[in-house]
A and B are shown apart, each in its own frame.
Chain A
Amino acid sequence: NAGVTQTPKFQVLKTGQSMTLQCAQDMNHNSMYWYRQDPGMGLRLIYYSASEGTTDKGEVPNGYNVSRLNKREFSLRLESAAPSQTSVYFCASSHIAREQYFGPGTRLTVT
C-alpha cells in the first residue's frame, strides 16, 4: 500500500514555462485535494475533487488547472509559471468528509 504518491519530488521552472504535477492514491478514496504550503501561511487549498468527475476551486485557484483523470489520479497543471507559484505542493485524498492523507510533496521553484 503506497498511500498517496506524487511526482516529481523537485522541479525548477523558468517564468512562463508549464508543467503538470501528478498525484495518485491507492486507498479507494473518493475525494482528492491539491494544497500549497508557504512559510508562515500554512496549507492553502488550490482545488479539490469531491468525487470522480467533479472538481471545485479552493482558496487560491488562480494560475492553476486540475484534471481528475480517474478515481485514483488527480493532476495539477501550471500553464504559465510565475515566481509567486514557488512553493511546496501537497496532494491529499480522503473518504468524503473524513481525515485526509497526504503525499510527500513536490518542491517547486520558479525563477
Chain B
Amino acid sequence: EDQVTQSPEALRLQEGESSSLNCSYTVSGLRGLFWYRQDPGKGPEFLFTLYSAGEEKEKERLKATLTKKESFLHITAPKPEDSATYLCAVQATNNNDMRFGAGTRLTVKP
C-alpha cells in the first residue's frame, strides 16, 4: 500500500533561519511527487511536481528535491509569510489517485 510520512509534524523557525522538511514515501511505482502549501481555513495550493530521483525545483525561498525514497522541501531564509502547513503527496503509476501525508506545520517568527 502506498504510504507518505512527513516530518517533523511542526517546526518553529526564526525569520532567516533556514531548514528542511522531509517527506518519506513508499509506492509501487512513482508517477509523481507533489508539494502543496495550505493556509488556515483554505484549500491546498500547488507548489511543485517532481517526477524522478535527482530532480530539483525552486520557487522563491523554496526548493524541492527528490530521491528514490524521500523528498525534501528546503526553505532558505524564511519570512513570516512562509508560515503554513506544507503537504506532500505521491501518485503511483498504476492509478489516478493521490496519497497525502499529514503535513508539516511551519511557523516563522519575526
Contact = CB atoms under 8 A, between A and B. Distances in A.
A42 B97 contact: no
B96 A101 contact: no
> Which range contains the number of B residues in contact with the other chain?
20 to 34
A93 to B, nearest CB: 11
Interface string A32-51: 01010000111111001010
A98 B31 CA distance: 9
Interface stretch (B11-19, B41-49, B58-66, B69-77): B41-49
A74 B10 CA distance: 34
A52 B103 CA distance: 31
A104 B40 CA distance: 11
Interface residues of A, number: 27
Given A44-B100, A56-B96, A99-B32, 16 more contacts: A33-B97, A33-B98, A41-B102, A42-B4, A42-B100, A42-B103, A43-B100, A45-B98, A48-B97, A56-B97, A96-B96, A98-B32, A99-B34, A101-B46, A102-B45, A105-B42
